[in-house]
Amino acid sequence: MHGRGPAAPASSMRSLVTFLGTRLLRALVALWLVSTVVFVVMRLSGDPVPLLLPPDAPRSEYARVARELGLDRPLPVQYAVFIGNVLRGDFGRSLHFREPAMQVVVGYLPATLELGLTAFVLAVLVAVPVGLLSAVKRNSLLDQAAMGVALVGQSAPTFFLGILFILLLSLQAGWLPTSGRGGWEHLVLPALTLGAFTMASIARLTRSSVLEVLRQDYVRTARAKGLSEILVVAKHTFRNAAVPILTITGLQFGTLLGGAVVTETVFAWPGIGRLAIQSIYSRDYPVVQAVVFLSALLFIVLNFFIDVVYGLLDPRIRAR
């Protein structure tokens, strides 16, 4: 980094520890909030017992199930038990799959991770070069076209983008399959759909960060030294523009998890997002809870690591 003065190692270390401590605390609070909301919503939903019993079950049976679920105990106790179960990853048994809900969800996770990771890599591989090129050739036809597409990509609803891709590239052109999981050709359209927003955001951000750096004095100095434009961009510009790009990139990866619900439903991709929607329709609430909680956990852990990496990369951020 340019402009970074030599810092005293001890105080720098301490500030890093404080920074990480705050971030960890914040992550834990977020997780606690999510589980509390899940608990409140479940209690608002009314009596879960009839869902578990045949319609002609006697009252004694009803009382037994209610006791088994702990519903006869006071609400604070129920809450404590719930939080205890959450800590152990126990969300009850799936009503549909007849096995522990968390186990079901974990079984669907690889498909989601495969899709999310592909979408992410695709987005970065396309967006960073495009953004860079757009900045260097500012106001050229290429720049204007790329940024126009990026604007549309950023505001287009994911589900309709998926439908458009299926209509144009699968049904009309016949290039790619419409749905399901299989070889790489099954992955292209869902990954493109899921990654579109991320791609657009990263491309726009790369462009503006590079433009920002190109305005700096040291870039002018590098040019004045007679360095070629390629060297100026490669050595002096891109490295300095990388930090904001990296942060937003990391944050975007988390957003992809949320978008997976929609994309997986559009393309019948067998991941946790589609599982969540199907479980809602079959009223399999333990699975819905497990999906919500697991994605929250993934998302928060991921954000924590991004913060850590960011804090290590850029000492200025720790001061905040």
C-alpha dihedral sign at 36, 42, 43, 49: negative
C-alpha dihedral sign at 137, 141, 144, 150: negative
**Residue 236 vs 284, nearer CB to another protein:** 284
Q: Assess 163 for contact with another protein (CB under 8 A).
A: yes
**Residue 85 vs 265, nearer CB to another protein:** 265
**Residue 100 vs 273, nearer CB to another protein:** 273
What minimum distance in Å lies between the beta carbon of 81 and another protein? 19
Q: Are 112 and 271 in contact (CB under 8 A)?
A: yes
In the block, residue with structure tokens 């190109």: 214
Interface region with another protein, contact rule CB under 8 A, candidates 10-18, 82-90, 164-172, 180-188: 164-172
**Residue 86 vs 232, nearer CB to another protein:** 86
Q: Assess 291 for contact with another protein (CB under 8 A).
A: yes
- Largest interatomic CA distance in the chain: 89
Identify the DSSP state of 6. P
Measure the CA–CA gap between 255 and 251, rounded to whole angstroms. Answer: 7
Q: Assess 80 for contact with another protein (CB under 8 A).
A: no
Measure the CA–CA gap between 233 and 135, rounded to whole angstroms. Answer: 10
Q: Assess 277 for contact with another protein (CB under 8 A).
A: yes
Q: Assess 268 for contact with another protein (CB under 8 A).
A: no
Residues 16-35 that bind another protein (CB under 8 A): 26-27, 29-30, 33-34
Which residues, listed in sequence order, are joined to residue 100 by a DSSP beta bridge?
93
What minimum distance in Å lies between the beta carbon of 299 and another protein? 6
> CA angle, 38 as apex, 32 and 43 as ends, to 5°?
125
The count of other CB atoms within 10 Å of the CB of residue 237 is: 25
Looking at 11, 60, 139, 155, which residue binds another protein (CB under 8 A)? Answer: 155
Looking at 19, 35, 38, 94, which residue binds another protein (CB under 8 A)? Answer: 38
Size of the residue set binding another protein (CB under 8 A): 48
Measure the CA–CA gap between 40 and 211, rounded to whole angstroms. Answer: 47
Classify 195 in phi/psi space as left (phi over 0), alpha (psi -120 to 50) or beta.
alpha
Measure the CA–CA gap between 316 and 139, rounded to whole angstroms. Answer: 33
Q: Are 268 and 70 in contact (CB under 8 A)?
A: no
Amino acid identity of 18? T
Q: Assess 255 for contact with another protein (CB under 8 A).
A: yes
Q: Phi/psi of residue 182, each to 5°?
A: -170, -125
What minimum distance in Å lies between the beta carbon of 33 and another protein? 5
Measure the CA–CA gap between 306 and 224, rounded to whole angstroms. Answer: 36
Interface region with another protein, contact rule CB under 8 A, candidates 64-72, 112-120, 223-231, 261-269: 261-269
Interface region with another protein, contact rule CB under 8 A, candidates 11-19, 78-86, 146-154, 232-240: 146-154
**Residue 89 vs 244, nearer CB to another protein:** 244
**Residue 233 vs 273, nearer CB to another protein:** 273
The footprint of another protein (CB under 8 A) covers 26-27, 29-30, 33-34, 37-38, 41-42, 44-45, 151-152, 154-160, 163-164, 166-167, 171, 254-255, 257-259, 261-262, 265, 276-277, 280-281, 285, 288-289, 291-292, 295-296, 299-300, 303
